[in-house]
Structure 1
């Protein structure tokens, strides 16, 4: 009877991943502990699996996606009442979105147990921007822009990157400074890496109805951010935006 109950999750083994902090940045290496507790019966664990996940918006609603997945252990036998702690290190991928607005990122730990409900643990992450992306955010603030939205959206045609199904788009409105009244909005898509950040920029100028209908009020361009200095990034973005006013 205990085996039957465990197969539907009653008296099953459990797993809990303990993180030193929920705050992470893309490119970070995180050290954590995985606590496994045996249930009422002996159980064979095929794998202890990790997945870093998020969700992105499609025409049909939100879809979940794995940013990274890896295996900690294979072929474990967990005895009734057994407690086991395993240490694990994993990297936060550079394409992990920043958790602003409604964007969510989480680490899911799962015990793969044959013929039973797989025990799992979900830990939400507070993903902060990389230093270069933070410099971009600060520079946009200095230039009089306010963040309107930051959504993960499907990119089925790979307009910005290859091999990724979605991008995170930051939409800014000009609420002050020299660009207020001349630019409607600026949309940014960041592609960070260890040595630089590629920034895709769409500038929406304030124009008349004809220009909006024809699409001539929008310009797409890009910049490569190699510094974390706020003033330097501000100057770089200011010069770029002035070309498209």
Structure 2
């Protein structure tokens, strides 16, 4: 009887997820999964671990918040979790390069669960902090060196266009000039990261300080790209400044 009821979550096993934090895009995260058996033995097809986030999409009905899975792994194959058995497994999951950093309204979590076929999957999730990769950090440091501060960060549905990465969403990082020579000349600087194994491509939108007419016509915005590979922070700072200057 319990085997049938467990399919509907009654007397089912429980899972507790304890991921390491912070994590870094492109690296691995350690995840400890505590499992406690239910009222009967359970045949699990696998233990899965997933990295997930949420992005916004504008529709006719308003703003929708869409959960999306960035990456899933099954580090442990089929096994039996006995009735009332307590079992702990520590596994690793790859944090994809495109995982957004947890700044502003950005949230990332790691979920672990048991794949049990037609039954409700016992699972659990926990938020994690995502820090910038080394290349991303060089861009953050360069922006700060030029007098910019991060105002907001949020994932949103990708809009396409010539600078599109082909992914369903992008994370927009909005910087504002707080000191230095750009303070009176720019409204903001928007950055979008597109990382690969060899380099980080940064789409940069330069929003100049202009009148209402310029804003309505979009004449105060220019887009360009910066590629960060092996340059040090000083070189990235110089290249970012050159990009801004030629788009003002």
| TM-score, length-scaled by structure 2 | 0.90
- Contact kept in structure 2, 1:6 and 1:116, CA below 8 Å: yes
Tell me how far 1:226 sits from its aligned partner: 1.8
- In angstroms, what is the RMSD of aligned CA positions? 2.0
User: Is the counterpart of residue 208 in structure 1 residue 220 in structure 2?
Assistant: no
Equivalenced residues, count: 244
Q: 1:206 to 1:68 in 2, by over 3 A?
A: same
Tell me how far 1:117 sits from its aligned partner: 3.0
Higher mean C-alpha deviation, range 223-232 or range 105-114: 223-232
Residue deviations 1:136-178 (CA, integer Å, cap 9, x gap)? 1111112111212101010153654444100000111112110
Identify the residue that residue 55 of structure 1 maps to in structure 2.
54
Identify the residue that residue 186 of structure 1 maps to in structure 2.
189
Tell me how far 1:114 sits from its aligned partner: 4.4
Q: Distance in 2 between matches of 1:151 and 1:87?
A: 31
- Contact kept in structure 2, 1:158 and 1:164, CA below 8 Å: no
Q: Distance in 2 between matches of 1:85 and 1:212?
A: 57
Higher mean C-alpha deviation, range 57-66 or range 111-120: 111-120
Residue deviations 1:61-95 (CA, integer Å, cap 9, x gap)? 21011100122334322211223333422211000
Identify the residue that residue 13 of structure 1 maps to in structure 2.
13
Identify the residue that residue 118 of structure 1 maps to in structure 2.
121
Tell me how far 1:213 sits from its aligned partner: 2.1
Identify the residue that residue 39 of structure 1 maps to in structure 2.
38
Which blocks of at least 5 consecutive residues in structure 1 are unaligned?
Answer: none
Identify the residue that residue 99 of structure 2 maps to in structure 1.
96
- Contact kept in structure 2, 1:189 and 1:200, CA below 8 Å: yes
Identify the residue that residue 241 of structure 2 maps to in structure 1.
238
Identify the residue that residue 77 of structure 1 maps to in structure 2.
80
Residue deviations 1:184-209 (CA, integer Å, cap 9, x gap)? 11110011233321010111111223
